[in-house]
Structure 1
């Protein structure tokens, strides 16, 4: 979906901007390509720059309560330094590389409810305007998909996905937020844990997999959280016996061992713990993979409002948009 907006802050009759992404989902650490289509207004203008921002919707908990907001987690200048004539049409192609920790928004073509977008900024003679906002679709990398597939084959279920503001201690996390996939336990572990939270922190050579278990309490003890981190190289992911690997991870996590060999357990550092923006699905992970069951149409309809409301809260000028 493309949102085409008149650049109101540049005056009536100013240029328009329309960003079109190449078909298909991108991958964390992969290439995102497309083009920015500019339309000249009533007069010639000098385009200082055309920039793209990666934006995520996050929620956070504070002592005073909960708050919502947006985080710009990367920015790219893809053009500029030219004059756009009145009524002229010009295309600015782009190809950018997404951060490796970019959240996954869909699995097997089904939406997770994560709010992630690409926002276009146009600067004309010192005036800047957020002219275009596009929903960003990101699929898992092969190793991520294989691990999720293994959880499904082991009988775990999908509960929800969210983005949490904060950092996970002891990891190489780069972004100011992280994604958690909340899983219901398989029958084999239902007696021991209420849920397992899974986070992928990908990097060029390998990926950190962070697991946190909400352990059930007993008659004489209360429940607690257990955490563990494992490192997975991207190369060779297709040749792993992931069912065995993932089951071993969960056994170590549930037993809460003091040591995990070279991959020691790490705790979460959460100066502003997030409650996330995911939509609860409450369906099972099947042997064919993750069946999310999220109402994707509802998410799409609310997408623009999520960013508009957050932008207004940050003091940005709201603008009326028309579909292109």
Structure 2
């Protein structure tokens, strides 16, 4: 009976060559399986990338763990008692993968992990979970550097389930990186949210400003979009581009 609860069954440990990656990179490592007290049949060994996603349902909001990419390592394995197996893998990271490290600092609110799933016949999946650290692409970093140079202050980051119209989004959620605006715009803009939607060739930058209401002006959300190739992003003056957009949003003069 204890076998049905995984007692004495195989255990799994995934070892990453390097947990630091960028969107579109390949995550490498090996899945190490140690046999238990009795023979076991493993139907599938699967890796899954997962993150926390905020879901809106009617008037309610909740957070859930969401798998957004799966990779099959092996199928139909027989593991003998106390036998050790090592399964190397190369897992492509989606180019739309959210970020959780910027400038060497973890983004508050962002969790990303690699889960190893073992489908053991007649037993509970032992599983394994390893954190991964996703750094920005050079094109994304150029935009983030401009936010820093302008004096924006990072507040938090999260993922929201849903789709942004007009961009080639493939994941069922998008990341929002939130900032307080610099002093020259703080009187008219509460905060600015930055979203990247990335393809192998292009970077789409979506900005959302939460504009304060005034005596003669309406508040609400204002959006800006910029689509460039990754090469063009490196040559773009993002400080000037974002400053011009913020000036238009806030109604400030140059």
Deviations 1:159-195 (A, max 9, x none): 1111111111222111111110111111222233111
Is 1:184–1:194's contact at 8 Å kept on the other side of the alignment? yes
How do 1:176-195 residues align onto structure 2 when only pairs under 5 Å count? 176-195=172-191
**2:217 counterpart of 1:224:** no
Identify the structure with the greater strand proportion: 2
Other structure's SS at 2:127 match = strand
- Give the whole-Å Cα distance in 1 for the aligned partners of 2:206 and 2:75: 41
1:222 shift after superposition: 3.2
Other structure's SS at 1:91 match = strand
- Give the whole-Å Cα distance in 2 for the aligned partners of 1:147 and 1:197: 13
The partner residue of 2:135 within 111, 135, 139 is 139
1:128 shift after superposition: 6.0
- Give the whole-Å Cα distance in 1 for the aligned partners of 2:233 and 2:130: 32
Count of matched residue positions in the alignment of Structure 1 and Structure 2: 250
**2:196 counterpart of 1:200:** yes
Structure 2 partner of 1:106: 101
Question: Judging changes above 3 Å, is the alpha-carbon distance between structure 1 residues 8 and 177 closer, same or farther for their aligned structure 2 residues?
Answer: farther
Question: Judging changes above 3 Å, is the alpha-carbon distance between structure 1 residues 8 and 204 closer, same or farther for their aligned structure 2 residues?
Answer: farther
Is 1:228–1:253's contact at 8 Å kept on the other side of the alignment? no
Is 2:203–2:230's contact at 8 Å kept on the other side of the alignment? yes
The partner residue of 1:97 within 92, 102, 122 is 92
Structure 2 partner of 1:48: 43
Other structure's SS at 2:177 match = strand
The partner residue of 1:212 within 208, 221, 238 is 208
Is 1:10–1:124's contact at 8 Å kept on the other side of the alignment? no
Question: Judging changes above 3 Å, is the alpha-carbon distance between structure 1 residues 132 and 247 closer, same or farther for their aligned structure 2 residues?
Answer: same
Deviations 1:131-161 (A, max 9, x none): 1011121111111111111111112111111
Other structure's SS at 1:66 match = strand
Is 1:211–1:253's contact at 8 Å kept on the other side of the alignment? no
- Of structures 1 and 2, the one scoring higher in RCO (CA 8 A, sep 6+) is 1
**2:28 counterpart of 1:33:** yes
Other structure's SS at 1:100 match = coil
Is 2:114–2:130's contact at 8 Å kept on the other side of the alignment? yes
CA RMSD of aligned residues (A): 2.2
